[in-house]
Structure 1
Amino acid sequence: MKILCTFSLCFVAAPLVAQVSTGELRLKVTDSTGLGLKATVALSSEANQYFSELTTDADGSAKIKTLAYGVYRLDIEKQGFSPISNTLEIRSAIPVERTLHLSIAPINTVIRVSDTGILLDPNRPSSIMQIGSAEIEDRVASLPGRSVQDLVNSQPGWLYEGNAVLHPRGSEYQTQLVVDGVPLTDNRSPGFGPEIEADDLDSVSIYTAGIPAEYGRKLGGVVELNTRRKAQAGLHGQLVLGGGSYDTLQSFGQLQDTWGKNTLSASASGSGTSHYLNPVVPENFTNNGTTADFALMYERDFTPSDRLTAGVRHELSRFEIPNEFLQELAGQIQNGDNFETIGTVSYQHIFSPNLLTNLVGMVRDNANDLYSNPLSTPIIAFQKNSFRERYFKGAASFHHGIQEFKAGIESDTAFLHENFNYFITDPSQFHDSTPIALPPFIQSRPDLEQGAFVEDLIRLGRWTVSAGIRWDHYQLLLNQNAFSPRFSVGRYLPSFSTVLHFSFDRVFQTPSNENILISSSGYIQSLNPQVLKLPVKPSIGNYYEGGSSTSLAEKLRVDANFYRRDVRKYADDDQLLNTGVSYPIAFDKAVIYGAEGKLSLVRVGKLSGYLSYSYMVGNVWFPVTGGLFLGDDVGAALSQLSGHFPDSQDQRNTVRTRFQYQFTPRIWLATGLLSGAGLPFEFEGEQSDALAQYGPAVVSRLNFERGRVAPSLSIQASLGVDIYKSERINSRFQVDGDNLNNRLNIIDFGGLFSGNAIGPARSFSLRLNTSF
């Protein structure tokens, strides 16, 4: 009831901004006399992996929303009239309006429209990765809780650590998800937060460079998620049913009805599996998990210039923490859960054809818990953390000649609550002076963050420049602020069908607020007499990227990027007393550099797909500059004042590929692989300790001399069949196989009772997707 009251207040006082880099097309189709026509409209952009087909209403009107910036091809057809093929650009939040007139087709005249698409965006000043609806629908099925993470992890520059924690270009816990314009900056991996199901998405846009000044706080990578919206009037929906290995069952359903000026949509999903988190041993002990998601959204266009949108979403996950051999022998059962309710509301007003404003408000309640049974070893831990977040942003977009201005302010307040207690059952695993138990730690504190930004996109012939500056203020345990300039420039070379680009991003990244109160509290002194506590300061970094995009015969696109990141107060994380309760720490600096390349085959005959390669080197320098350290770690932190070590995401070589062959209009086969050179690890115990905890199969995949996990390889294959297809209904059946080579892929190896993660063995899944 409390969240509903706050949501109502938000609805009145602080209306949801549209996606940062998206716009809208408003279309009118008429005959030569100006009368509206009900015609078929196809809008596509191969550069953005976008395709949408709809029918205009009775007066010839249609609106297509949340279009990523870029160049689009527009095809309009109606029986008895000559078809039209045209191109247009989306470069601003201000809607693009087009009125197109169809002429009556001459008798006995055959008109052919070229199927050549727009593979390259000549006015894009930086690299952006796009995932369209077709790739989302044809993806290899994911285990519950990680479908979005698997989509992002398919892109070059991104790496998993255990339990689907995403790391963009070596960054730790600095990923920001933006859901329909609302930023979520907390950890969204399966063990920390529930996810939005990928079937609920229409498109994904990913930034690791050239980040708009509108974004702040978590900038290792920004992932924009556009939830599914049908532009077509009337009732539409989708039902997805799936299941497979590890007793996995999944379902998703969505309905949308558009009538007059109103659109109402609802979606729900649920899943269950016996492989929710990454197990620590191949036997996959105690790893059951369930998820659920419910969402409702209402939108009304009061006038052509005024739009109100309101939505609510509730998500939850419940899961077990995987056991090692000794924990399973002892009978340990640890359970975790996450609950989240989000209310959003927005108001958009167009003052003129050149000026648009958006107001956004969001209220979010998030809670996560950890419970342990009396047989847990070496520690029984309980955690009950929660926060209430109130977010507001106001932004204005202004078009003037060759410039697209945008400016705005935002405020984010999170009221943190932490509750932790423990009981040690195996004292031999801890410092001699560590108490067996202490009274619960309970503390609350607000996290206050504000920002303001201004940015400009300028097109000067074949040059495109994006420039902006952002101001951020952070107040939790520290009170700091900073200015962050951003700049990117692109140059189109038509003779070579190539765009060259360069970007510079100054970033101010606030620390993770996960367990930050307990790690900085006086409670810690009671755990161990040897304590080092240093305030974790925001990370400040400079990101550089240069690269190119080249189109070859409108069939093949080659993207190549070279980058470097210099970060001070580099963010990392550590763990409290072997409990799985993590908290932020920081080191003096990090230097991360590398190269990425992706070859995208749009379609040659019946073949399409991609091949990508990533090379990354990351090093982190001492001394420690922030965080909590106990016992022997205190001496190491104080004495290690120089030198460096590999970043935990320092996987030098990563290859991803997936190609699809269309045998018939209704049958396709896809195959691909994911290969990684292996992540570094540190192990404080003896190799015999690792054997006792994890067994010989795991240890055989570790190189203790080099401190590296053995290379990983997972081969995938999919078969899709359109079992029923009509003008209104499309039903597709898909079967997927993952890790068909059945290699024991070790993702992480971190030490006793923590940090180990094993990828799934050979597995299969079935999915039936019906839309209407």
Structure 2
Amino acid sequence: MWKVFLIAIIAASLMFAGPAWGQASTGVLVLSITDSAGLGLKSTVEVVSEANQYKQEFATDAGGNLFIHDLHFGVYQILAKGTGFSSASATLNIRSEIPVRYRIELKIAPVSASVTVDIENTLLDPYRPSSVMQIGREQIRDRVASLPGRSVQDLVNTQPGWLYEGNAVLHPRGSEYQTQFVVDGIPLTDNRSPSFGPEIDANDLESINIYTAGIPAEYGRKMGGVVELNTQRNALAGLHGQLILSGGSYQTAESFGQVQDVWGKNALTVTASGSMTNHYLNPVVPENYTNHGATGDFSLRYAREVAQSDHFALSVRHELSQFEIPNELVQQQAGQLQRGDNSETMVAVDYQHLLSVNVLGNLDGMVRSKENGLSSNPLSTPILAFQDNHFREGYVKGAISVHRERQEWKAGFETDNTFLHENFHYDITDPSQFDEDTPGKLDFVQSRPDLEQAAFVEDLIRLGNWTVSAGLRWDHYQLLLNEHAFSPRWSVAYYLLAPKVVLHFSYDRIFQTPSNENILISSSSAISQLSANVLHLPVKPSRGNYYEGGMEKAFGDRLRFDANVFRRDFRNYADDDQLLNTGVSYPISFDKAVLYGLEGKLELVHVGKLSGFASYSYIVGNVWFPVTGGLFLGDDVDQVLSGVGHFPDSQDQRNTIRTRFEYKVSSHLSVASGLSSGSGLPFEYGGTEAEALAQYGPEVVDRLNFERGRVKPSLAVNASLMLVVYHSERADIRFQADGENLNNRLNVIDFGGLFSGNAIGPGRSAYFRLNASF
């Protein structure tokens, strides 16, 4: 059925007169470079926005024309250069999805001529109505090395307000399981951590845009945080490519290759990557038992400028991963071996048509197939677990954008139909680890469609120094429940010119659908056989309110400070329950939750030879019983039933500090260093300290404070050396060496409890990366 749906999407897109390859807050810049007589000039164009961490150089065609897609809203400095002509610069504001057309005239150069580019106006965006975190191309290229399967998650985790749980599960501002990744305008709302599915490699990205407040009404369903991923594009004509080889500790090896050909109005890009490591997931004990993993990825993208008013893009991507589940001490001694595997195939079509000078139409479509598996050998203990889940998804979105003087209107719809199939069963091999009433085996097979629709309208208004964004979204969710909701959202900002300060406040009403991983078994009455005392009801969507107030200030043209305070109130707060340490989790919901905190980031933009950032986050979270959903076995059943009142959210880490600074020793050599430190997450262990010693060992127990119920503070220091081996207009070769956790502290991320698994961070390690592009 999903193949038929794919053909229908492609056919529909070709019938319309136009598609887009962009996110909710991106625009297109159409430049024309001419001489004084108005004739087009072949030129090079540099585009810079320090606020958006954007810096790229392009080449126009022979007629002096240049199309630049997916520019995040903001202020940009444009510098045009032509042989025999004086350079010219301009400052442009990209604030609409309607293409901005601009002409730059170059004059014949005198004997001696120069132009000074002032980027001061691009450090602060005075028209941004809420806080947005952005990661640019240079930051992606020079990032600290990541273990396979988590390069994007590691980049996002560098931002204030974001935390890791075990196995790179991201938690924005304490929210669990509610991060969505938007890949070139297509939202992916399933869990993208390594144990749930392969990732899109960070090497394939041009930029990352991150929302935790002031979220456009265009986005819904998973609202903890929205991460927009913009894949690489090289606008230079001709054949271009990139090859990245890396490797290091834990027998880690990775490769990434990209080839792109741009001819006329066409661009074809092919990428492929592969990796392997002996540290794929976070182990549960320092010995890092049974933790080998391998990944693979292939993608093909074709884009065409059909005309000045039309843009078409088609992408195909296939990803897979195979890995082992790390053992505890007892499981390793017993000879346990559990394996997981994931695969995903996705086809997306995007079409954009300029209906008039001020009206733009978009049509996006996607079909996707994804599979998740788990198997256990006969020696597994205390349970043999098997899983064979898959889903087929079809997604369509249409939108109209209208520019009208000071306003940017956008309205649209989306429909997402996912056909779920779950196949899970277990056999208990050590009954002493469970209550005597716990059945020795369970077999569960069920299929069901998840049907979701939405409509939205939003408006961005500029009134002098004021900027207002207002939107309304309607969602309908039909799986085991049939619910709908209206979600108003608005944000407002005021720009104080003299002190260079932007003040902003936002409110988001959210309607979050439950995670679809194991949602059928988690909400099924069939598992009531596990305990007659546990009531399993369908897991309901979360509803809540987000509030944020903050400011951005520029100090001169090289230093920026951002600070926010926030509060989140939920009913039916989404979380997950992990089945022992199998890597299998089940969606649950608490009655309510309250999360609040503050965050700040100080960023240096090339102050002399120094650049970098320092950030701080403070998060407090509490959740209230009772619990709905999940698959609880053994003593966990009693803990769930006896739970009353409230307790700290599993991501209630009060203090988090992250820094990274780079010093440019010369034009070819740079050194960098930073650290990551956290005050420790809460835990609630069902056993005694002596039982923990036998299960996890003294090194782990030494990193726990049983009196406070907190993991002890973590600290990891890193350092990098970056060398430009060769650089010319046609080729660039770079080498980077990274040392991580140089202090070699045993950092416990999570400790096994009722609602979280056990996870140990990597020890001291070293990685090397060679990046060649042409």
Instruction: Give the TM bin, normalised by the shorter chain.
Output: over 0.9
One-letter code of the match for 1:329? Q
What residue in structure 1 maps to residue 554 of structure 2?
551
Q: Is the 8 A contact 2:5 2:394 kept in 1?
A: no
Q: Is the 8 A contact 2:577 2:756 kept in 1?
A: no
| Alignment pair present for 1:616 and 2:619 | yes
User: How do 1:401-550 and structure 2 match up within 5 A?
Assistant: 401-438=405-442, 440-550=443-553
What residue in structure 2 maps to residue 605 of structure 1?
608
Q: In the aligned structure 2, how far is the partner of 1:702 from the partner of 1:746?
A: 8
2:712 to 700, 710, 713: 710
How far does residue 522 in structure 1 lie from its aligned partner after superposition?
4.0
One-letter code of the match for 1:64? I
CA RMSD of aligned residues (A): 1.6
Q: Is the 8 A contact 1:252 1:269 kept in 2?
A: yes
Deviations 1:119-143 (A, max 9, x none): 0001011000000000000000100
Q: In the aligned structure 2, how far is the partner of 1:26 from the partner of 1:48?
A: 19
SS at match of 2:651: coil
How far does residue 262 in structure 1 lie from its aligned partner after superposition?
1.1
Change (3 A) 1:531 1:577: farther
Deviations 1:65-93 (A, max 9, x none): 11111000000112322211110011111
Change (3 A) 1:722 1:476: same
What residue in structure 1 maps to residue 77 of structure 2?
73
Q: Is the 8 A contact 1:533 1:629 kept in 2?
A: no
How far does residue 172 in structure 1 lie from its aligned partner after superposition?
0.5
Q: In the aligned structure 2, how far is the partner of 1:486 from the partner of 1:374?
A: 53
Deviations 1:138-178 (A, max 9, x none): 00010000000000000000000000000000101000100
How far does residue 520 in structure 1 lie from its aligned partner after superposition?
2.5
What residue in structure 1 maps to residue 296 of structure 2?
292
How far does residue 436 in structure 1 lie from its aligned partner after superposition?
2.1
What residue in structure 2 maps to residue 765 of structure 1?
767
What residue in structure 2 maps to residue 385 of structure 1?
389
Q: In the aligned structure 2, how far is the partner of 1:80 from the partner of 1:434?
A: 83
Unpaired runs of 5+ residues, structure 2, are 14-18
Q: In the aligned structure 2, how far is the partner of 1:339 from the partner of 1:144?
A: 15
1:264 to 268, 280, 285: 268
How far does residue 18 in structure 1 lie from its aligned partner after superposition?
2.2
| Alignment pair present for 1:231 and 2:235 | yes
One-letter code of the match for 2:407? Q
Q: Is the 8 A contact 1:431 1:528 kept in 2?
A: no
Deviations 1:367-418 (A, max 9, x none): 0000000000001110000000100000010000100000000000110000
SS at match of 1:664: coil
How far does residue 628 in structure 1 lie from its aligned partner after superposition?
5.3
Change (3 A) 1:280 1:636: closer
Q: Is the 8 A contact 1:11 1:310 kept in 2?
A: no
Change (3 A) 1:353 1:437: same
Change (3 A) 1:754 1:349: closer
What residue in structure 2 maps to residue 356 of structure 1?
360
Change (3 A) 1:537 1:726: same
Q: Is the 8 A contact 2:662 2:670 kept in 1?
A: yes
Deviations 1:413-450 (A, max 9, x none): 11000001111110001121222224x32110000111
Identical positions, percent = 67
How far does residue 532 in structure 1 lie from its aligned partner after superposition?
1.5
One-letter code of the match for 2:363? L
Unpaired runs of 5+ residues, structure 1, are none
What residue in structure 2 maps to residue 728 of structure 1?
730
Q: In the aligned structure 1, how far is the partner of 2:233 from the partner of 2:724?
A: 22
Q: In the aligned structure 2, how far is the partner of 1:627 from the partner of 1:508?
A: 21
How far does residue 529 in structure 1 lie from its aligned partner after superposition?
3.5
Q: Is the 8 A contact 2:241 2:773 kept in 1?
A: yes
SS at match of 1:534: coil
Between 114-123 and 708-717, report the one with greater CA deviation: 114-123
What residue in structure 1 maps to residue 16 of structure 2?
none
User: How do 1:33-48 and structure 2 match up within 5 A?
Assistant: 33-48=37-52
SS at match of 1:278: coil
Q: Is the 8 A contact 1:530 1:630 kept in 2?
A: no
Between 372-381 and 751-760, report the one with greater CA deviation: 751-760
Between 100-109 and 703-712, report the one with greater CA deviation: 100-109
Q: In the aligned structure 1, how far is the partner of 2:122 from the partner of 2:637?
A: 58
What residue in structure 1 maps to residue 10 of structure 2?
11
Q: In the aligned structure 2, how far is the partner of 1:3 from the partner of 1:373?
A: 34
Q: In the aligned structure 1, how far is the partner of 2:114 from the partner of 2:282?
A: 58
SS at match of 1:82: coil
| Alignment pair present for 1:369 and 2:373 | yes
- Across the two proteins, how many residue pairs are aligned to each other? 769
How far does residue 581 in structure 1 lie from its aligned partner after superposition?
2.7
One-letter code of the match for 1:586? S
Q: In the aligned structure 2, how far is the partner of 1:600 from the partner of 1:77?
A: 30
Q: Is the 8 A contact 2:20 2:311 kept in 1?
A: no
SS at match of 2:441: coil
Deviations 1:695-749 (A, max 9, x none): 0000000001100000000000000000011111000000000000000000000
Q: Is the 8 A contact 2:320 2:342 kept in 1?
A: yes
What residue in structure 2 maps to residue 245 of structure 1?
249
| Alignment pair present for 1:573 and 2:576 | yes
One-letter code of the match for 2:457? V
Q: In the aligned structure 1, how far is the partner of 2:286 from the partner of 2:581?
A: 21
Q: Is the 8 A contact 2:522 2:588 kept in 1?
A: no
One-letter code of the match for 1:368? N
How far does residue 4 in structure 1 lie from its aligned partner after superposition?
5.3
Q: In the aligned structure 2, how far is the partner of 1:9 from the partner of 1:132?
A: 36
How far does residue 634 in structure 1 lie from its aligned partner after superposition?
5.2
How far does residue 625 in structure 1 lie from its aligned partner after superposition?
4.9
Change (3 A) 1:764 1:65: same
Q: Is the 8 A contact 1:467 1:486 kept in 2?
A: yes
What residue in structure 1 maps to residue 666 of structure 2?
664
How far does residue 759 in structure 1 lie from its aligned partner after superposition?
0.2
Change (3 A) 1:111 1:164: closer
Q: Is the 8 A contact 1:578 1:753 kept in 2?
A: no
How far does residue 9 in structure 1 lie from its aligned partner after superposition?
2.8
What residue in structure 2 maps to residue 738 of structure 1?
740
How far does residue 478 in structure 1 lie from its aligned partner after superposition?
0.6
Q: In the aligned structure 2, how far is the partner of 1:729 from the partner of 1:167?
A: 39
What residue in structure 2 maps to residue 689 of structure 1?
691
Deviations 1:437-475 (A, max 9, x none): 24x321100001110000000000000000000000011
How far does residue 601 in structure 1 lie from its aligned partner after superposition?
0.2
Q: In the aligned structure 2, how far is the partner of 1:610 from the partner of 1:289?
A: 33
Q: Is the 8 A contact 2:433 2:634 kept in 1?
A: no
What residue in structure 1 maps to residue 721 of structure 2?
719
Change (3 A) 1:767 1:635: closer
Q: In the aligned structure 2, how far is the partner of 1:173 from the partner of 1:66?
A: 28
SS at match of 1:98: strand
One-letter code of the match for 1:650? D
User: How do 1:51-450 and structure 2 match up within 5 A?
Assistant: 51-114=55-118, 116=120, 118-438=122-442, 440-450=443-453
How far does residue 626 in structure 1 lie from its aligned partner after superposition?
5.1
Q: Is the 8 A contact 1:379 1:578 kept in 2?
A: no
What residue in structure 1 maps to residue 652 of structure 2?
650
Deviations 1:533-590 (A, max 9, x none): 1221111111000010000011100001011111111111113476543211111211
Change (3 A) 1:628 1:378: closer
One-letter code of the match for 1:11? I
How far does residue 765 in structure 1 lie from its aligned partner after superposition?
0.4
Q: Is the 8 A contact 1:690 1:752 kept in 2?
A: no
